[in-house]
């Protein structure tokens, strides 16, 4: 038996440390969250996706009375980006949750497993790392790739191993 370890790296920023591009992404993610359709959870999530050509795509969570039919903000934004800009890689995805007064909540959101898997697929599709910004009231966590949030992920490579 061997003990193995996986380390993940991320950076923590204050809002004041962000450059204008990232500041804009945070603002756009907050704006997107305001349009979330979350009548069941009241948990309003916004995602702003910056593409390699500078285009911006926004998404928010879309819930459904048949709960599993809803979709998270990250996947709404990424699927829209991949559907409408199929030849453009994704540079950054910025995710935020707002409270009932439209303020960013104190804890940063932790993307669900399905969203991590979709981000991983998008990295693989475009052969390009996606920077992930998880925003909270007082700080922003930056991951340089989904590999830090979803190590040992299932991918196309696993299918080829059959």
- Which residues are tagged catalytic? 74
Question: Least Å distance between CB 9 and ligand THU?
Answer: 20
Enter the tokens of residue 76: 């709404």
Beginning with the edge strand found earlier in the chain, give each strand of the sheet holding 44-51 in spatial order: 11-13, 140-143, 131-135, 90-98, 44-51, 56-60
Question: Least Å distance between CB 5 and ligand THU?
Answer: 26
Under 8 Å between Cβ of 120 and 153: yes
By C-alpha distance, which of 113, 112, 92, 114 is closest to 29? 92
Question: Least Å distance between CB 155 and ligand THU?
Answer: 21
Binding site for ligand THU (CB under 6 A): 38, 41, 43, 45, 61, 63, 70, 72-74, 109, 111-112, 115
């Amino acid at each position: 038996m061997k003990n193995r370890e996986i380390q993940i790296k991320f950076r923590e920023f204050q809002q004041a440390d962000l450059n204008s591009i990232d500041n804009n992404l945070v603002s756009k993610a907050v704006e997107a969250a305001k349009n979330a359709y979350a009548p069941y959870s009241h948990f309003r999530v916004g995602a702003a996706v910056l593409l390699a050509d500078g285009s911006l795509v926004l998404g928010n969570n879309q819930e459904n009375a048949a709960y599993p039919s809803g979709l998270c903000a990250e996947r709404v934004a990424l699927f829209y980006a991949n559907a409408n800009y199929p030849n453009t890689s994704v540079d950054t995805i910025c995710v935020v949750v707002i409270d009932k007064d439209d303020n960013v909540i104190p804890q940063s959101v932790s993307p669900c497993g399905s969203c991590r898997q979709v981000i991983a697929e998008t990295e693989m599709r475009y052969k390009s790392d996606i920077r992930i910004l998880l925003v909270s009231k007082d700080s922003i966590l930056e991951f340089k790739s989904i590999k830090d949030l979803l190590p040992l992920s299932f991918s196309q490579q696993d299918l080829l191993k059959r």
